[in-house]
Structure 1
């Protein structure tokens, strides 16, 4: 009974910690219409991918078309040869118009087949296909030179009655204005999040107006359509452009209001989240849909939006884990137990829903298992009042690496694992953080900041600092190099991302915290552990 007030307070704090970032928002932002002009339509479901040649069935496409038809006037496709179904015939059955596309790449034979199929589809369905899109971002990817693209446009234009266009990011229309003479419509992509200078949601409508003004001045008298416009619901920040469900809803509502006011010809990207896109674009690439990959509406068209509609389940899981860890620790240290319970729930929330294939699933399972074991070891250590100065063997990653070499030779005495498992696991998480941080420095564009993967290690470091439980042995060379390298890489990452990227700054602070136990004698002294005597 004496623990009830503390437990009640911790349960309330847990609920608040999950509710605050997921409270209702954006209810005041109106949507002027429930029916949109056009939406990119890629009917791939989890496990399907054009990269592996695994396509949806005709029945699945029919079901997806029935789902989107009440919300859109038209759909845009990107390839003419994908799947064993007639996309134009299905669209016609559901009363939808079609922006029919052909995918052009570096394979000349494949390009010829795509164009032939596009021409056949346009001729066979003149009442459904309202325009043909010859290539998508070919110039951006540098798959074809402008002359080859122009030849493809001229070929299609001579063979079909519908307006012919090419779609690319607006900057590439500025770079190659000669392409405009060979199309009936200038189709531009406006994606404020992805551009070289990202624009946040608040500035995105002004940016869209400015881009349209530039295109109209560059191509006077030529019809201009927006072939892709949208916002992602998940992924890394770029400058102050923040992917989120709430931001996606706000962007959509504001853009539709702009489109209605200025009578814009536009196509939203996209109907459904496409899990397969993570391979080339990271988590953010799989998060542009108005519906999830499970075909659930991502947010209501009107009224308030929650960032994570399932927040209550995660809060309940965090509370249950906190209570379970508290009980397992002999009903001691409820604050630490609940901190670890919340960290584990956050780790699950940030990894498992984004395990898009078996490899990511395996990585998530290994990470969660490691974090779970580390949480139990920390509680065991704290409950027994243990510090490293009372432990056995070398400390930190030097000990971890040495034991790995011994284990690979089959000579490790596992009976003493309780004396070194905690420090070794901390060391391997430190090494993993260094690897990921270096990737964020040298190849950051499609990589998320890995808060969830280090939720428990961050609690561990904070708890050790609070208890003054720093390594009793002075860090060995390996641990010092890893910690120092992580700290330097974290500072470099923060500098490269810039002060506008609050997510990057937050992760850099977390990386410095992870590196702290292995840094300098001065830090160790300040946090309660004097430098041991001797060399």
Structure 2
């Protein structure tokens, strides 16, 4: 028989939670390991691709003194020439003014960029270098892009931008067309810019749209935008200067960064581009680790090649998200063994139910920790990020393991009156609410660390189903239990309810907060009864 204080429904819900989290961990890892059949690209060759060689640790265009050597550029372009007919650059600094001369060796063209920002002195330097490079390599340069998303960033006024465009046009051969590149919405906002360019260069990035488009619908979105822009600017040639899909990072509504979705988008876009004979440029050649500082994890994973210059997916045949998916199951098995050992130390219960609870809790915790470690390989760049993430993950595993011991004892019908230290839950709540604040007020570029917070949140949620707290939760915990779920609603609203991860994040907040609120209510009612 169950002790009187135990609720049969709560016990059933606790078992259901353990089963579902175990199945979810196993299924997720199996799903990322299965080959996905996708439509083939018409060819391995791509017309043009953005080239930024800052793919190794510490390399960044923000360091004006860092120079990419001609030998490095030669190595890259020699490899790229096997698949690409053209590369697009974005600036003349950091040694990139050598790209056109080197590209000529491999019979490639260059859509040459001149970088413009808010610092006039640097702008003048890049313009002067761009003019000199164009005059020295007129047959190689397909076009000159004077400024990239300057109006989107608000670095220059349209009037000052036009002056730079006119300066470049007047000082370069008439055979080289001049353009400006920006997201398509900015061209609609500043249509007067079309008068000063030889062709219009628009960026269409379905993932970054104000209303993100999922990968399966993204090419249709590109087609609609391209058709609309041709109607708005019928007298100007139109080029898609940037389009692509990220392979890792934060879900935006239903737009999910993944290798499978990147392959799907690129293959379907190339099929579409071939049918309309459309000039285009794909972003980008290599993954750019430095972009994570600007755009979060997703910023570093737009490359067709990874940061080691290896192709991330083939252009034909099935695509697998993670060939090492079995490591997730291995982590789950290791977690089950560790939790079973931890749970067996000093145990006072008997029966298969306790062991089964430990095995399921351990497997679920192991697969969750493996997910978090996988996410850390994408998101962590600086050593301190690895240290902080690793310490937090270890602490979360310790909390989950200790709670799993008590959960197993209760499910084995042993009435364990012991409770975990209150400061463990305080720290878990504090970390969760702190991240809730960041997500609520500036969450555009932040990932959801589901694998990290799933461990304490679910563990405390299940533990709360099985026990009544003997003491009133502290005022700080009660406050955070109220505030956390309210803050977690913000990402759900911001993503108009379309982001499944935002809903799961709200669920984790509720899982750890509800036992606190229930205990608060129970002790309040009890105190009122005693006073009466």
In which range does the TM-score fall when normalised by the shorter chain? 0.7 to 0.9
Map of 2:79 onto structure 1: 67
> Matched residues in 1 for 2:332 and 2:74: separation?
40
1:329-368 equivalent positions in 2, closer than 5 A: 329-330=343-344, 332=355, 333-368=358-393
TM superposition shift of 1:346: 2.0
- Which stretch shifts more, 59-68 or 240-249? 59-68
Map of 2:52 onto structure 1: 42
Q: Is the 8 A contact 1:137 1:167 kept in 2?
A: yes
> Matched residues in 1 for 2:215 and 2:371: separation?
26
In structure 2, do the counterparts of structure 1 residues 98 and 524 end up closer, same or farther at CA, with 3 Å as the change threshold? Answer: farther
> Matched residues in 2 for 1:247 and 1:225: separation?
24
Give deviations 1:392-414, integer Å, cap 9, x for gaps. xxxxxxxxxxxxxxxxxxxxxxx
Q: Is the 8 A contact 1:388 1:472 kept in 2?
A: no
2:35 aligned residue (24, 31, 34): 24
In structure 2, do the counterparts of structure 1 residues 12 and 155 end up closer, same or farther at CA, with 3 Å as the change threshold? Answer: closer
1:426-437 equivalent positions in 2, closer than 5 A: 426-437=425-436
1:229-248 equivalent positions in 2, closer than 5 A: 229-248=243-262
In structure 2, do the counterparts of structure 1 residues 452 and 14 end up closer, same or farther at CA, with 3 Å as the change threshold? Answer: closer
Pairwise CA RMSD: 2.7
TM superposition shift of 1:77: 0.6
Structure 2 residue 141 is the aligned partner of structure 1 residue 142: no
The gaps in structure 1 that reach 5 residues or longer are: 1-9, 392-418
Map of 2:454 onto structure 1: 455
Map of 1:403 onto structure 2: none
TM superposition shift of 1:521: 4.4
> Matched residues in 1 for 2:440 and 2:415: separation?
34
- Which stretch shifts more, 331-340 or 44-53? 331-340
Map of 1:442 onto structure 2: 441
SS at match of 1:105: coil
TM superposition shift of 1:264: 0.8
The gaps in structure 2 that reach 5 residues or longer are: 1-20, 346-354
In structure 2, do the counterparts of structure 1 residues 278 and 13 end up closer, same or farther at CA, with 3 Å as the change threshold? Answer: closer
Give deviations 1:130-172, integer Å, cap 9, x for gaps. 1111000001111000111101101111111211110000111
Q: Is the 8 A contact 1:516 1:523 kept in 2?
A: no
TM superposition shift of 1:531: 5.9
1:127-138 equivalent positions in 2, closer than 5 A: 127-138=139-150
SS at match of 1:225: strand
Choose between structure 1 and 2 for higher RCO, CA contacts under 8 A separated by at least 6 residues. 2
Map of 1:478 onto structure 2: 476
> Matched residues in 2 for 1:107 and 1:388: separation?
67
> Matched residues in 2 for 1:23 and 1:92: separation?
42
Give deviations 1:297-356, integer Å, cap 9, x for gaps. 212211111222321223223322322332343394222222222222222122233212
Q: Is the 8 A contact 1:387 1:472 kept in 2?
A: no
Structure 2 residue 306 is the aligned partner of structure 1 residue 292: yes
> Matched residues in 2 for 1:93 and 1:173: separation?
35
Q: Is the 8 A contact 2:178 2:198 kept in 1?
A: yes
TM-score (norm: length of structure 2): 0.86
Give deviations 1:349-404, integer Å, cap 9, x for gaps. 2223321222322321222221232233334545666988534xxxxxxxxxxxxx
In structure 2, do the counterparts of structure 1 residues 387 and 123 end up closer, same or farther at CA, with 3 Å as the change threshold? Answer: farther
Q: Is the 8 A contact 2:240 2:279 kept in 1?
A: yes
Q: Is the 8 A contact 2:239 2:280 kept in 1?
A: yes
Map of 2:4 onto structure 1: none
In structure 2, do the counterparts of structure 1 residues 95 and 374 end up closer, same or farther at CA, with 3 Å as the change threshold? Answer: farther
- Which stretch shifts more, 82-91 or 107-116? 82-91
- Which stretch shifts more, 153-162 or 208-217? 208-217
- Which stretch shifts more, 56-65 or 254-263? 56-65
Give deviations 1:208-243, integer Å, cap 9, x for gaps. 122112221222231111000011112222222222
SS at match of 2:281: strand
In structure 2, do the counterparts of structure 1 residues 184 and 233 end up closer, same or farther at CA, with 3 Å as the change threshold? Answer: same
Map of 1:413 onto structure 2: none
> Matched residues in 1 for 2:374 and 2:448: separation?
14
TM superposition shift of 1:16: 4.4
In structure 2, do the counterparts of structure 1 residues 508 and 99 end up closer, same or farther at CA, with 3 Å as the change threshold? Answer: same
1:136-535 equivalent positions in 2, closer than 5 A: 136-161=148-173, 162-330=176-344, 332=355, 333-382=358-407, 389-391=417-419, 420=421, 423-465=422-464, 468-469=466-467, 471-521=469-519
1:50-129 equivalent positions in 2, closer than 5 A: 50-53=61-64, 54-83=66-95, 86-129=98-141
> Matched residues in 1 for 2:287 and 2:80: separation?
13
> Matched residues in 1 for 2:120 and 2:468: separation?
63
Q: Is the 8 A contact 1:326 1:338 kept in 2?
A: no
TM superposition shift of 1:258: 0.6
> Matched residues in 2 for 1:35 and 1:531: separation?
73
Give deviations 1:37-81, integer Å, cap 9, x for gaps. 111111112221122444544443333323322111111110111
TM-score (norm: length of structure 1): 0.85
Give deviations 1:4-49, integer Å, cap 9, x for gaps. xxxxxx9999654411243221x24121111001111111122211
In structure 2, do the counterparts of structure 1 residues 57 and 376 end up closer, same or farther at CA, with 3 Å as the change threshold? Answer: farther
> Matched residues in 2 for 1:288 and 1:530: separation?
56
> Matched residues in 1 for 2:453 and 2:242: separation?
35
